[in-house]
Structure 1
Amino acid sequence: MVKIINSDKAPAAIGPYVQAVDLGNLMFVSGQIPIDPATGLMAEDISAQTRQSLANVKAILTAANCTPANIVKTTIFLADMNDFAAVNSAYEQFFTQNNAAFPARSCVQVARIPKDAKVEIEVIVAK
């Protein structure tokens, strides 16, 4: 059975999609851009944007009774591959601080991200 996951601690979807779809043993979390759900604002700094995108992912995981340790795959979309090192650092800190193993990952540069964010992160979770 498909269950839709939504958290008010992550930004609402800005299009015709949901924050996450839970299939029971797998969950697919939609790409999270770095909007602070409390303010609706987005930091300029790529490290801060990465931390916020991951915080949004974590909020959705929490709503589904999961943790970052459940993440098995991430996809990172970057507006500029020159930000790769800064994103990697914030990403590594996130998984280390949450006592989670590093998941499989893809990271690609894209032409543009919604709201002109510098980063968007989506995840696949095993439960």
Structure 2
Amino acid sequence: MTHPLVSYPQLPDTPTSHLPFSPCVVVGDLIFVSGQASVDQKGNIISDTFEGEFRRSIENVRKVLEAAGSDLAHVVQTRNYVRDAEDVPLYNQIYREYFPQPSPARTTITNCLPPSLRYEVEVVAVRKAS
């Protein structure tokens, strides 16, 4: 699909996947970031503790947003997938480090990921003012 207001920005270190999706789609000033998990640049899963996977996932979001001209401070909504409900207290603790008040709008779903992943996140952000 091509449209003058739609773009698919990527930098060389933007995490990619063998699956059929773009890391992000920019429509005007809105940036829609596809689900980011604990993966390397080629989309290979890197298993870790919940905290390790959370931080790697958010760093992947940071890289995707950078390619689109934005950053974590410009995130307006997050959708979070936490494999194990018992990780929710730790999730909330670490989440606050990356998204302080006023926090983005947020949805969290638990007990929903395959055994190979502990956490995944997708975001909507706006471009930084030029």
- Measured against the shorter chain, the TM-score band is 0.7 to 0.9
Question: Which one of 83, 86, 89 corresponds to residue 87 of structure 2?
Answer: 83
Q: For 1:95 and 1:103, locate their aligned partners in 2 and report how far apart those are by CA, in whole Å.
A: 7
Specify the alignment match of 2:13 in structure 1.
9
Specify the alignment match of 1:106 in structure 2.
107
* The structure with more helix, counted as a fraction of residues: 1
Specify the alignment match of 1:116 in structure 2.
116
Runs (4+) of structure 1 exceeding 3 A deviation are: 38-41
Kept in 2, the 8 Å contact 1:69–1:101? The answer is no
Q: TM-score, normalised by structure 1?
A: 0.85
Residue 5 of structure 1 aligns to a residue whose secondary structure is coil
CA 1:14/1:85 → structure 2, altered by over 3 Å: closer, same or farther? farther
Structure label with greater radius of gyration: 2
RMSD between aligned residues: 2.2
Counterpart AA for 1:120: E
Q: For 1:39 and 1:15, locate their aligned partners in 2 and report how far apart those are by CA, in whole Å.
A: 9
Q: For 1:41 and 1:31, locate their aligned partners in 2 and report how far apart those are by CA, in whole Å.
A: 13
Q: For 1:123 and 1:44, locate their aligned partners in 2 and report how far apart those are by CA, in whole Å.
A: 22
How many residue pairs end up in the alignment?
Answer: 123
Kept in 1, the 8 Å contact 2:15–2:64? The answer is no
Counterpart AA for 1:124: V
| Cα distance, 1:69 vs structure 2 | 1.3
| Cα distance, 1:110 vs structure 2 | 4.0
Deviations 1:44-78 (A, max 9, x none): 20011111100000001111110111100000011
Unaligned runs of 5+ in 2: none
Write the mapping of 1:18-37 to structure 2, written as runs, cut at 5 A. 18-37=22-41
Q: TM-score, normalised by structure 2?
A: 0.83
